[in-house]
Amino acid sequence: MRRALACLAALTMACSTRAHDAAFRPLIVGDSAPAYAVRTLAGDSVRVGAGAPVLLNVWATWCTSCREEMADLAALERSYAPRGVRVLAVSVDAGDGSRVRRFAEAEQLPFAVAHDPGGVVQQRFQAVGVPETYLISADGRLLWVRRGGLHGAPAAVRATLDS
């Protein structure tokens, strides 16, 4: 129990320190999305802002909210993939990615899943935790940002995509 509390305290301090860093500014709607490319578990290379809109979800298998929102992401993929919108879920789990692969296969996720154990996506997007979701236009602009679970947010994503 003491070890768990110590880990929680360290994590809280790390997050709060970064959030108060003068150089740190979370990305907001209208900002240019940072350059980011990743190889999916299927072996495809995906680059955000490279000609097609992307709904980028930063997540981890150990995150309950992250796992719960996979159904919402799957529904968005089914609705908007025919219109050229890609859903890309990037896991920041530590390790070799085997846990991420097992989860994606067990859940039969219909969208692209990638593993970024170094957390490059979090660094580039100034993410402070998981889950975080970004809707990025074909020309690389942030159209919608959500820090935290999607709970009810797919309607907002749909409204943005439909406008």
pLDDT value for 1: 56
pLDDT value for 21: 54
5: in domain: no
pLDDT value for 163: 86
Tell me the pTM: 0.84
Write phi, then psi, for 102 (nearest 5 degrees): -60, -45
Number of structural domains in the chain? 1
pLDDT value for 13: 46
pLDDT (tens, 9 = 90+) of the chain, 163 residues, equals 556 444 444 454 445 444 445 567 889 999 999 999 999 999 999 998 888 999 999 999 999 999 999 999 999 999 999 999 999 999 999 999 999 999 999 999 999 999 999 999 999 999 989 999 999 999 999 999 999 998 878 898 999 999 8
22: in domain: no
67: in domain: yes
**Could you give the CA distance from residue 68 to residue 75 in angstroms, rounded to a whole number?**
13
pLDDT value for 96: 96
8: in domain: no
116: in domain: yes
11: in domain: no
**DSSP 3-state assignment of 98?**
helix
Domain that holds residue 36: 27-162
32: in domain: yes
Q: How far is CA 53 from CA 4, 102, 150, in A?
A: 40, 27, 18
Torsion of CA 116, 122, 123, 127, to 10 degrees: 180
| CA 88, 89, 94, 99 torsion-angle sign | negative
1: in domain: no
Print the SS3 string covering 4-44: HHHHHHHHHHHHHHHHHCCCCCCCCCCCECCCCEEEECCCC
Q: What is the CATH number of the domain that holds 97?
A: 3.40.30.10
